Structure 1
Amino acid sequence: MKLKGYRSTYHEDVRHYVQTEELLRYTGTPQDNIAISATTPTHHSILVYEKNQLVCFFALDEGALKTQYTSEPSAFVLRSFSTDARYLRRGYGKQALMLLPDFVRNQFPDIKEIVLGVNQNNLPAQALYEKVGFVANGRILQGPKGPQNILMLSI
């Protein structure tokens, strides 16, 4: 499995990425995040490949919004994490999250923490994040899709 920063050469893979309405209740689309990344240098779209197949997507955001999640100035907000609907329940999401700390250390050595907001109703996602080492910091934010528990992972 490989984590890669988005490049235009991956456009067709992203175009064929499948998200169901159920999944979109809790997360953003790769296309929306890639559009943000194109104009915002602090928003990094990351693709996760298993062999030659795009299986997961997320964004790492180091913009000003992170202050709502953490007081750590050298932090990323993990946003819009998803698995292509055709590849759910195969362990790809867990594998990608387990690779994330080393990826960040190698690509962004100044980052000390990753934080995220997970919808309180999205119990499977919350369990996944906790399984790979994210810890609730006790904060709750009102997100665009409902209240979110804030979780953090030290790098």
Structure 2
Amino acid sequence: MGQQQGVSLFLYEEKYLESLLAFQLPAEQAEFTGLPSDTLESAMHDINKYAVVIVHGDMAVGFFILHTGEGIADFYGPYSHAMLLRAFLINYASQGKGYAKAAILQLPEFMRSHFPAVHEVVLAVNEKNTAADRLYSRAGFCDNGLRRMGKKSVQKILQYSLLGNQTAMASQDGELQLRLIHTLSQSPILNALFTAAQSLEPLPYYIGAGCLVQTVWNELTGRPLNYGISDIDIIYFNDNDLSYAAENKVVERAKTLFSHLPFPVDIKNQARVHLWYQDKFGIELRPYSSLEDAINSWPTTATCLGARLNSDHRWQIYAPYGLEDLFGLIVRPNKALIDEGIYYSKTHKWSRKWPELHIASW
């Protein structure tokens, strides 16, 4: 139990059942969440779901579900120490009294008390649900750019660290970014690549994961920095022209820009990947909304990585799941897009080249 401003959080007990099943929401709110009558039974039969009741006095005024385990990987790849908050609502009759804000503000204390092994709470909020977005942001949830496609529209993935020292975490992330930049800068081939790629500006682009990740693995395991690299991936985004002809112009330009490199360069417009992906891989793909959206779906947490060196010599790094797995030689699945077979096919290939890798199970 936790308390703040007269509101308490309790793990579900049967005494709350009748009042929860009587909850109601107007249609404009029900569009974004499910009533307890829709979600409670499923939570009661899933060992990885915990129903939580928001209580004022002795009356249930709100409800949400905490979901853990592999079932949340589609929402959040690094799920092992995270819980997903879902189906959050305040009964319509109890709205406008500050209960939602009070409940969210005391959530960290509740989590530390009941789930001490959990390091992070995450949630998905519809981009159109601005009221909920404001509520969660004011309570300390952070928007770090993670997105997923929901049933109706794009959802933001908001994150709240429970480790208690977010300054230290930010410092550690900054240190790993500096370490990454130092490692990439030690490679003559990558130096030439990043310098040549500046000619692509102002086209938004990233150098993709493969050559970056493998360079780091090589540095960590004492191998030559270009060991195991067979090609270089560059991604860009242009949703104004999705034709093959427009993309091919960029491809032909890249052949000239990168002709001095010892590896072939594959450059693709991520705005048009959905047009050919199903035919090639048998998986239906929704259109990406940005370069970052594309990187969010790449197959492992360590390889969800893009980097560029801007013409003003500032580095731009995008790593939605952080860099700890990369520098820890940990390969962990990101289930946003791939299936088990694809994951093990990739990890088998990588582990043959880098046997030091720690391959997480699917």
Alignment TM-score > 0.5, same fold = yes
Tell me, yes or no, if structure 1 residue 30 matches structure 2 residue 47: no
Distance in 2, Cα, partners of 1:145 & 1:13: 29
Residues 70 and 115 of structure 1 are in contact (CA less than 8 Å); yes or no, is this contact kept in structure 2? no
- Higher relative contact order, chain-length normalized (CA < 8 Å, sep 6+): 1
Tell me, yes or no, if structure 1 residue 141 matches structure 2 residue 148: yes
Residues 52 and 65 of structure 2 are in contact (CA less than 8 Å); yes or no, is this contact kept in structure 1? yes
TM-score by length of 1: 0.94
Task: Please report how far the alpha carbon of residue 145 of structure 1 lies from its aligned counterpart in structure 2 after TM superposition.
Answer: 3.7
Matching residue's letter, 2:85: L
Tell me, yes or no, if structure 1 residue 95 matches structure 2 residue 70: no
Task: Please report how far the alpha carbon of residue 72 of structure 1 lies from its aligned counterpart in structure 2 after TM superposition.
Answer: 4.4
**Counterpart residue number, 1:18:** 24
Q: Greater shift after overlay, 137-146 or 87-96? A: 137-146
Paired residues, number:
155
Q: Greater shift after overlay, 47-56 or 123-132? A: 47-56
**Counterpart residue number, 1:120:** 127
Distance in 2, Cα, partners of 1:63 & 1:132: 24
Matching residue's letter, 2:138: K
Question: What are the Cα deviations for residues 94-150 of structure 1, in whole angstroms up to 9, with x where unaligned?
Answer: 000011110010011111000000000000100100000000121111112421011
Matching residue's letter, 1:43: K
Residues 16 and 60 of structure 2 are in contact (CA less than 8 Å); yes or no, is this contact kept in structure 1? no
Distance in 2, Cα, partners of 1:116 & 1:82: 13
Matching residue's letter, 2:70: A
Sequence identity of aligned pairs in percent?
31
Q: Whose radius of gyration is greater, 1 or 2?
A: 2
SS of 2:17's partner is helix
Please report the RMSD computed on the Cα atoms of aligned residues, expressed in angstroms.
Answer: 1.3
Q: Which of 68, 78, 81 is the matching residue for 1:71?
A: 78
SS of 1:125's partner is helix
Tell me, yes or no, if structure 1 residue 152 matches structure 2 residue 159: yes
**Counterpart residue number, 2:57:** 51
Q: Which of 7, 11, 33 is the matching residue for 2:13?
A: 7
Q: Greater shift after overlay, 80-89 or 65-74? A: 65-74
SS of 2:128's partner is coil
C-alpha distance 47-74 of structure 1, shift in aligned 2 (>3 A): same
Select the structure that is richer in strand: 1
Select the structure that is richer in helix: 2
Question: What are the Cα deviations for residues 61-91 of structure 1, in whole angstroms up to 9, with x where unaligned?
Answer: 0032322324141110000111111122211
**Counterpart residue number, 2:115:** 108
Q: Greater shift after overlay, 138-147 or 65-74? A: 65-74
TM-score by length of 2: 0.42
Residues 33 and 45 of structure 1 are in contact (CA less than 8 Å); yes or no, is this contact kept in structure 2? no
